[in-house]
Amino acid sequence: MLLSSARFAAIRYLASHAAPFLLSQANDRRIALLTQVLERMARTEHHKAQLRYLRKLIGDRHPAVGLARRVLSLHPNARRAVVNSLGVNATWLGDAERNAFAAAHGVNPPFLIVISPTTRCNLRCLGCYAGEYPREADPLSFEVLDRIVSEGKEMGVYLYTISGGEPFLRPDLLDLYDKHRDCVFLVYTNGTCIDDKTVVRLQGCGNVAPGISLEGWEEQTDFRRGKGVYRKVMETMDALREAGILFGFSATATRLNAQVYYDEAFYEHMIEKGCLFGWFFIFVPVGKESSTDLMITPSQRDKLRQVVYRVRQTKPIFVADFWDDGCLTGGCMSGGSLYLHVNYRGDLEPCVFMHFADDNILDIYERGGHLWDVLDTPLFRRIREVNRRDPNPLRPCPIIDHNEWLEEALRGTNAQPTHPGAEDIVGRLAPQVRSWAAEYAKLADYAWYHSGQYEWAQRKGDPLWNHKGSQQASSGGR
């Protein structure tokens, strides 16, 4: 059942007025009181269960409550965006709006949209996944980007990830964030182009969360990104922390640096610098001079999975591993299941690591179409058909876990590589990737079926962890 317009209005009023008052002080009593108020307004049993679970964590003095306190110490604009734009718009009301759109149009909107508005970058990082795209002028104008976000909101999408290239080389993006304050923008950045004026703009918007790329400590970061980059990143983090801006780190695990992420001191340092979240990516050989040499070993990946899980239980920071946290998303998110990618020239890719497309947003607009038309293209339909077939969500990826799935999805469509060499992932590199996947499968199957670590995710009928709205699995975390 969809929310009535009166309940929509009530929740929006609560978020705009009551919530900021209750969260004006970072104490457990006010957080618990807010969960009780919101639970009465919640539409689904899943959302009610989330709030009850948060209240339990407060009573148990779980480290996650420390994260909530840290969020409440942010600048008021950032706090407002976390509650209004992320909590209410993107998650609660967005869920209802996405369901309504699906009922009206016959396609399920994603939870988030990734846009790469530029490939220009001031760094040249070894193995960059976007490194094979030309570093040329930006074909996507502000007007096109504005239309993409506006049409996304028509579908109920209020969460946008901005990638690149280096997004802060486009100053006009700050105007985009400012115009759409009802949305949240996670911006992946190398952290070297955020000056004092930009910090002021970000503080004013409140709805922008930089995810700053690191490769570990100074040695690993400067090796891959260039001498002096690490120190500049540390300076940027200090400035963002002092301004009360929501931000975190983004880390790519390779064979050369994976051991850094096993070290508890790394997370303590990120917390000290002000990071509230951290995203882990596994190196995928689809970019510049693609090779499997930098891929982490199966045992390194298994160790990283365990470390990320432990950090969430013990530290006041939210970290996620996009390849090993499939139980939190119901499997792979690509192809519009939970997200899609608009690349720098408008090609519509199922995933930022799947460099194939059979349509382009500029062509769609020229034909008089809309952003949501891509959800019904042959490539996106095929990706959704082949995805999520492995009962073990610790092996969700159709690129590196089930490389044959990607090959199967591409077969019978008119999808083309979006840069020369993109096809290597299902050609020249496929035997190596599939051998690697077979080795990791042994470790993943033990972890999922025999370790006992994921019993919470396997409980049938638990509204907290097994909710699915449209095609979307729970967006909660553990």
pLDDT digits (tens, 9 = 90+) for 144-189: 999 999 999 999 999 999 998 899 999 999 999 999 999 999 999 9
Kindly indicate whether the domain formed by 107-473 is annotated with CATH number 3.20.20.70: yes
19: Cβ–Cβ under 8 A, 6 or more apart, which residues?
34, 83, 84
The yes-or-no verdict on residue 367 having pLDDT over 90 is yes
> What is the three-class DSSP state of 160?
strand
Chain CA centroid to CA 367, Å: 30
Q: What is the mean pLDDT of residues 224-240?
A: 93
Which pLDDT band, with edges at 50, 70 and 90, does 2 fall under?
very low
Which pLDDT band, with edges at 50, 70 and 90, does 25 fall under?
low
| Per-residue pLDDT at 287 | 64
| Per-residue pLDDT at 171 | 94
> What is the three-class DSSP state of 373?
helix
pLDDT tens, position by position, 26-60: 577 777 877 787 777 777 787 788 888 888 888 88
The yes-or-no verdict on residue 435 having pLDDT over 80 is yes
Q: Count CA within 13 A, CB hemisphere, residue 37.
A: 18
| Per-residue pLDDT at 469 | 41
Q: Which two tokens stand for residue 54?
A: 């948060």
Which pLDDT band, with edges at 50, 70 and 90, does 22 fall under?
low
Q: Assess contact for 85 and 181: CB atoms under 8 A.
A: yes
| Per-residue pLDDT at 16 | 57
- 């929740």: which residue's tokens? 11
The yes-or-no verdict on residue 190 having pLDDT over 50 is yes
Nearest-CA neighbor of 65 among 373, 268, 314, 261?
A: 314
The yes-or-no verdict on residue 197 having pLDDT over 70 is yes
| Per-residue pLDDT at 266 | 97
CA atoms of 382 and 413, how far apart (whole Å): 8
Supply the DSSP symbol for 466.
S
Strands (E), 276-415: 277-282, 318-321, 339-342, 348-349, 356-357
Which pLDDT band, with edges at 50, 70 and 90, does 135 fall under?
low
Which pLDDT band, with edges at 50, 70 and 90, does 137 fall under?
confident
The lowest-confidence range among 154-168, 229-243, 401-415, 463-477 is 463-477
The lowest-confidence range among 29-43, 85-99, 282-296 is 29-43
| Per-residue pLDDT at 23 | 58
pLDDT tens, position by position, 327-349: 888 899 999 999 999 999 999 99
The yes-or-no verdict on residue 381 having pLDDT over 80 is yes
Q: Assess contact for 400 and 301: CB atoms under 8 A.
A: no
Q: Which two tokens stand for residue 103?
A: 């009922």
**Beta-bridge mates of residue 184:** 159
How many C-beta neighbours within 10 Å does residue 318 have? 17
CA atoms of 94 and 428, how far apart (whole Å): 41
Q: What is the mean pLDDT of residues 94-100?
A: 92
* Percent of the chain whose pLDDT exceeds 70: 87
The yes-or-no verdict on residue 246 having pLDDT over 60 is yes
47-56: long-range pairs with CB below 8 Å, 24+? 47/91, 47/92, 48/463, 49/462, 49/463, 49/464, 49/467, 50/464, 50/476, 53/464, 53/476
Give the type of residue at 403. Answer: N
| Per-residue pLDDT at 50 | 80
Task: Answer positive or negative: Cα dihedral of 436, 439, 445, 447.
Answer: negative
pLDDT tens, position by position, 384-424: 999 999 999 999 999 999 999 999 999 989 999 998 889 99
Which pLDDT band, with edges at 50, 70 and 90, does 478 fall under?
very low
CA atoms of 189 and 174, how far apart (whole Å): 14
CA atoms of 450 and 243, how far apart (whole Å): 46
| Per-residue pLDDT at 39 | 78
106: Cβ–Cβ under 8 A, 6 or more apart, which residues?
none
The three-point CA angle 445-457-258 to 5° equals 55
Residue 78 vs residues 101, 292, 350: alpha-carbon distances, Å: 29, 40, 30
Domain ranges for the chain:
5-102, 107-473
Higher pLDDT, 250 or 56: 250
The lowest-confidence range among 11-15, 25-29, 436-440 is 11-15
